[in-house]
């Protein structure tokens, strides 16, 4: 197996912090998701994207969800839609709003009721060659035929659903993956593209707790927004997410929760790319 190393991750060409740079030069992420049942997923993914180094994360969400998010995470900007769940009719407006963003993350906390919206939005963004990251229930909605140039972050059950939706078996994946990258989350993460496959062994069993996948997706979107490198961003997200979980488990034990990891993301990123501070 070709395991990801720190040196592999450091090859990701993050932009340099020049003193003359201004807000927005290091990327903007649009996060589309949320539902009455899942507010926290947006906070975890959005803060993780910010910790990756992007300047701005804006969240498109149903209004009540967005108001709740404003109290949870004041660093995130919100655009509110007057609905409880997204519907297909919202896709055109959201796709139009996304044009000024470097990457769009879709699916965190969005729920199963928004499947038609997810399919339509992803088709429209793919047609415009917009870098996208697809997570959670948005993965369950789509086929690989619907998407181009994306990072998909399924756990094993979501991956099987993706194969079923695409009407292929796992052995046929290489033929149908196109230019997408798939991160299959597990005790060893598999990062898969048409040309390459890598394995990540950072992380630990305490990370089965809910929310750690939202952090991984947020990191992937943040790195993708800064570099336009889908495979490198996927590798970095998996490696750093696992490393952060290892650090937190060392601090708090097996009862770690995903929000604990947000506090250590800056350390995990610095430990990987540069200065080491704990």
CATH 3.30.70.330 fits 6-11+23-273, yes or no: no
pLDDT digits (tens, 9 = 90+) for 55-112: 999 999 999 999 999 999 999 999 999 999 999 999 999 999 999 999 999 999 999 9
What does the pLDDT read at residue 242? 99
3-state secondary structure the chain: CCECCHHHHHCCCCCCCCCCCCCCCCCEEEEECCECCECHHHHHHHHHHHHCCCCEEEEEEEHHHHHHHHHHCCCCEEEEECCCCCCHHHHHHHHHHHHHCCEEEECCCCCHHHHHHHHHHHHHHHHCCCCEEECCHHHHHCCHHHCCCEEECCEHHHHHHHHHHHCCCHHHHHHHCCCCEEEEECCCEEEECCCCEEEECCCCHHHHCCCHHHHHHHHHHHHHHHHCCHHHHHHHHHHHHHHHHHHHHHHHHHHCCHHHHHCCHHHHHHHHHCCCCC
pLDDT digits (tens, 9 = 90+) for 154-208: 999 999 999 999 999 999 999 999 999 999 999 999 999 999 999 999 999 999 9
Torsion of CA 241, 211, 28, 222, to 10 degrees: 10
Q: Would you say residue 277 has pLDDT above 80?
A: no
Domain segments of the chain: what residues? 6-11+23-273
pLDDT digits (tens, 9 = 90+) for 219-266: 999 999 999 999 999 999 999 999 999 999 999 999 999 999 999 999
| pTM of this prediction exceeds 0.85 | yes
Average pLDDT of the chain? 96
Q: In the block, which residue shows the tokens 């139009």?
A: 96
Tokens of 215: 């952090």
275 pLDDT band, cuts 50/70/90, is: low
């Amino acid at each position: 197996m070709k395991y990801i190393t720190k040196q592999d991750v450091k090859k990701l060409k993050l932009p340099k912090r020049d003193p003359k740079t201004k807000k927005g030069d290091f990327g903007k992420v649009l996060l589309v998701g949320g539902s009455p049942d899942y507010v926290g997923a947006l906070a975890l993914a959005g803060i993780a994207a910010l910790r990756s180094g992007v300047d701005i994360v804006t969240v498109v969400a149903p209004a009540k969800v967005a108001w709740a998010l404003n109290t949870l995470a004041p660093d995130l900007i919100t655009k509110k839609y007057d609905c409880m769940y997204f519907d297909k009719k919202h896709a055109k407006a959201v796709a139009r709003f996304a044009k000024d963003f470097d990457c769009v993350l879709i699916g965190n906390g969005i729920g199963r009721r928004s499947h038609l919206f997810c399919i339509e939005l992803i088709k429209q963004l793919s047609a415009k060659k917009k870098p996208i990251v697809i997570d959670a229930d948005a993965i369950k909605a789509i086929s690989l035929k619907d998407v181009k140039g994306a990072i998909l972050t399924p756990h094993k059950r979501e991956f099987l659903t993706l194969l079923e939706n695409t009407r292929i078996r796992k052995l046929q994946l290489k033929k149908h993956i196109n230019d997408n990258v798939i991160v299959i989350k597990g005790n060893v993460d598999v990062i898969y593209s048409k040309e390459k496959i890598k394995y990540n062994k950072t992380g630990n069993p305490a990370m089965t707790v809910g929310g750690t996948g939202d952090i991984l997706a947020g990191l992937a979107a943040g790195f993708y927004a800064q570099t336009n490198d889908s495979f490198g961003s996927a590798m970095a997200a998996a490696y750093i997410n696992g490393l952060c979980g290892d650090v937190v488990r060392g601090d708090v034990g097996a009862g770690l929760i995903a929000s604990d990891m947000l506090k250590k993301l800056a350390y995990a990123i610095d430990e990987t790319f540069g200065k080491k501070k704990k």
